[in-house]
Amino acid sequence: MTEPTDFALYLDFDGTLVEIAPRPELVRVDPALPGALERLRTRLGGALAVVTGRPIGVIDDFLAPARFDIAGLHGVERRVDGVVSGGGAENHPELRARIAGLTAAVAGLDAVLIEDKGASVAVHWRLASPADAALAEAAVKITADALGAAYRLQLGKAVGEIVPASATKGQAIRVFAQAPPYAGRRAIFLGDDLTDEKAFAVVNASGGVSVRIGAAETIATRRLATPEDVRRLLYAWADGAPIDPDALPPA
């Protein structure tokens, strides 16, 4: 029989713990979520981490007053046991030099948003017209191509983000899995977007359980329909229900 401490739990944020919002800053966090995650982290012996495209500080603000291990900016920055590494904008001068040009390229587009994260930059077009969305996607692709092999373009749900080439959620999970309390445990990762597929591949290869949120095509082995379903599951686990990810619906 498995015990909670047999598992390491990795959680995406947007579209997984919270519903997607029209603008990144407008997501709503269920008031019960931070406390439930803290209880679940205790059951897991500390092996709970958020793996997200957001900066660490933004996740801290949303989940305050709780503080969790986090891989932010797709793993560019990490916090483990309170120690933060990576993620400084000063380490990415080539990217910084392109921000103004990208901002100018989309300035005339309606409802297109630039999200400057320091070590990465995202262009959002969720509320844009199809024509402006296409122009926004083209602009971020041009910028990514100009940066060369050190950076890559990561496309998601109505967003394109330029990140360091070495940064993926899959690699972030590999790094977590090399150290206590994550080492030697079976990984569970929940995510909802194209950016999570690389993490699903890593988790699948290690014999873990990958869970896609929503109906999209995926390599994940399990599926939940909505963030509300995710929260319902996590709240149950936090309050003592058996942790049995293999019992989740197949993808």
Q: Is 12 a catalytic residue?
A: yes
Beta bridge partners of residue 38, listed in sequence order:
none
Q: Which of 160, 62, 65, 164 is nearest to 120 (CA)?
A: 164
- Selected catalytic residue, list 12, 14, 60, 196: 12
At 14 the three-state DSSP class reads strand
Beta bridge partners of residue 3, listed in sequence order:
none
Dist CA 98 CA 102 (whole Å): 6
At 187 the three-state DSSP class reads strand
E strand intervals along 39-196: 48-51, 69-72, 77-80, 83-86, 113-116, 121-124, 151-156, 159-164, 186-191
| Phi, psi of 134, rounded to the nearest 5 degrees | -65, -40
Dist CA 93 CA 77 (whole Å): 16
Active site residues: 12
